[in-house]
Structure 1
């Protein structure tokens, strides 16, 4: 068949219009999984599977429950029990029970998805729904806070001129010399629990999430404030992060009891360490990156071979939740603090305690600078401990609420400032050497 040039152009245009006008296919990740997560998971998850039926992953969604009815038929023309139960008018059979029915638009989406073959467009069919759904783009935080947010994470910018503070769905950045708010970095999880700059000083890792619902690490380009990547997504908050010296890896501690190692160049998971039985509150590398230590609400601190993930030691001496950990300079000992109000110093080789320092109240995440430790405490104080004699050499007092986090300014040791944040939203800057307060303010817009 011969076509003139003009006729061929008309055919091409019509084909393009047809393609443009075609309805998009329904995505399991973007369209169906959020519906299941919001309306079905409470009764049909791994922990509670009413009728023996689960929807917590795509692979489970396709399996029949106790009734034996096929939830999603292989042939779209055959009946699918899932669709029947969410679309039926009988309130005793309709899902979700004892609740409003799904909106017509939601039922229509599920119906169309099944008609199109009920395809999975994620990476792993067995992955949890919360992790299959694309990362959220969070709404902008309020222009002004009605109430202060507890400060659970703080750090200095690599040049030491700014203090970065965790806020509500954002970071607030303040000038260190006069406490002026200079900018805000948004599109972050609800609560910020951990901050760590990559060795190059350009990327800031933000451990965040919504308690009991979601958690993740967002990698931020600090210069622009843009999100470069979202890693280590989980169904509960991320509580600590730490970059590995000498390798493009980051350790991520989360409230789902996991410890994950992520390659920050590929954004792929290197390994998951499931050694703890409860929240992993804190994580730290040795100075040479050869060993890794974690502390957990399960009352233990554990040491691992960084290259293999092999468990090297498990310390059980606290008898209560462990909140902060640090590998000491020679890699043979670890310091840990927690709810028992003491700093424990113990050996990696045999997990035996060699020293103990009373703190007077629960200790939080440890910051180690050389042979000194800085420990924030809920007893409204921050303490400095000399590892040479295991004694408190400075007591930084002045906060009127629990001190939850601390960071030290980069630069000359004699001139460095300390930043400490407390439960009532107060941020304090101190002269490190003599515990003199420099600035104090409530860090809220």
Structure 2
């Protein structure tokens, strides 16, 4: 999920859902620090991320991302972008870089690399004919993978703070909606509107295998984090979320579907693992958040998180807090232990 993202057709439910937003920005190579932001409700929150230090939560908005303090919800800053939809956010390993992906549906897509501390634009990856839907850093910070609704996915090399040409992941026949690196960086997995999940060699982009088990659009993919230091080793598992109302867990290195997780009453749009891999959180169009045991299909918790579709979820590094973003534009912080909202904005 990389963090998960709806395809263009899904957003045709309403005309111009981003119309009620007014941003005053100082443009700088496509992204900017916002001098003042006046936000009307109704902008779908399609991307969320906690900063690695756990102090901030970043949420997508119309032509911008908003950074708030986890402890009190106060806005620290807004960072504007020239494209109207922000669809994916990802921090690098040490938290110094933030990748912002998005674009204009049906027209173009882009990924912007920002210095997290200063909000300065460092690099951009363009050349997409539709929305960039998902972005992910490799564990060694040497590569950045992006997926696009134009049916393509690309991997760029990250040298210092510059992006260099890498390789393409070619073969999907529908929008590519999710991308993720395995925890050792040897594999990349993509999720697509063509109903497939594809596994690629993380070093050269060679297609290793294709899973065709889902029966509808696959929105998101996320690898289970490695076992804590000192714990027994865990195989490389990833989970995918789909419009077919299921979450499926895979062992991509050997081509095995491990389990099917059911329970949602509608499309599942987003998922996230707890940092220790002990829990898998899922959310979708039924407005429910469900927590499953990381090693089985046992449902541990569930709660109603919204009266609308949930498009994005993220879990705090301490695994005590999670964030959800929905169609109406609301972001909620939750106590995982209690399943209760701590903050709403």
Smaller-chain TM-score range?
0.7 to 0.9
Counterparts of 2:194 and 2:43, CA distance in 1: 27
Report the equivalent of 1:286. Answer: 182
Deviations 1:242-264 (A, max 9, x none): 10012411110111111100112
CA distance in 2, matches of 1:303, 1:342: 19
1:240·1:282 contact (CA, 8 Å) conserved in 2? yes
What is the distance in 2 between the residues matched to 1:223 and 1:139? Answer: 12
What corresponds to 2:75 in structure 1? 181
Q: CA RMSD in A?
A: 2.2
| SS at structure 2 position matched to 1:345 | strand
Q: In the alignment, which residue of structure 2 is the partner of 1:300?
A: 196
Deviations 1:61-98 (A, max 9, x none): xxxxxxxxxxxxxxxxxxxxxxxxxxxxxxxxxxxxxx
Q: In the TM superposition, what is the alpha-carbon distance from 1:325 to its structure 2 partner?
A: 1.5
Aligned to 2:240: 336
Q: Would you say the 8 A contact 2:240–2:248 is kept in 1?
A: yes
In the alignment, which of 109, 116, 119 is matched to residue 215 of structure 1? 109
Distance 1:206 1:188 in 2: 11
Q: 1:163 aligns with which of 17, 40, 57?
A: 57
Task: Look up the match of 1:243.
Answer: 137
SS at structure 2 position matched to 1:199? coil
User: By percentage of residues, which structure has more strand?
Assistant: 2
More helix by share: 1
- TM score, norm. by length of structure 1: 0.65
Kept in 2: contact 1:216–1:231 (CA 8 A): yes
Task: After TM superposition, list the pairs within 5 Å mapping 1:45-60 onto structure 2.
Answer: none
**2:334 aligns with one of 408, 418, 430:** 430
Evaluate the alpha carbon distance shift between residue 139 and residue 333 of structure 1 in structure 2; reply closer, same or farther with a 3 A threshold.
closer
Matches within 5 A, 1:328-407: 328=224, 330-348=234-252, 351-358=255-262, 359-369=264-274, 370-407=277-314
In 2, the alpha carbon distance for the partners of 1:146 and 1:439 equals: 18
Structure 2 CA distance, aligned partners of 1:164 and 1:151?
10
Cα distance in structure 2, aligned partners of 1:200 and 1:386: 28
Unaligned runs of 5+ in 2: 1-28, 227-233
2:33, 2:236 → 1: CA distance?
46
TM-score normalised by length of structure 2: 0.82
Q: In 2 relative to 1, CA 384–154 (structure 1 residues): closer, same or farther, beyond 3 Å?
A: same
- State the alpha-carbon separation in 2 of the partners of residues 182 and 308 from structure 1: 39
Shift in alpha-carbon separation, 1:228–1:189, aligned structure 2, 3 A: same
Distance 1:140 1:179 in 2: 18
Residues 388 and 147 of structure 1, relative CA distance in 2, 3 Å threshold: closer
**1:8-407 matched pairs, under 5 angstroms:** 136=30, 143-265=37-159, 266-328=162-224, 330-348=234-252, 351-358=255-262, 359-369=264-274, 370-407=277-314
State how many pairs are aligned.
Answer: 305
**Quick one: distance in 2 between partners of 1:345 and 1:158?**
25
Q: Whole-Å Cα distance in 2 between the matches of residues 424 and 439 of structure 1?
A: 16
Give ranges in structure 1 of 5+ residues lacking alignment.
1-134
Instruction: Work out the CA distance in 2 between the residues paired with 1:224 and 1:188.
Output: 18
Counterparts in 2 of 1:283 and 1:141: CA distance versus 1, 3 Å: farther
Deviation of 1:136 after TM superposition, in Å, equals 4.6
Tell me how far apart the structure 2 counterparts of residues 295 and 182 of structure 1 sit (CA, whole Å).
33
Deviations 1:133-160 (A, max 9, x none): xx65689697313443100001112221
Could you tell me whether the CA contact under 8 Å between 1:420 and 1:427 is conserved in 2? yes
Q: CA deviation at 1:224?
A: 1.4
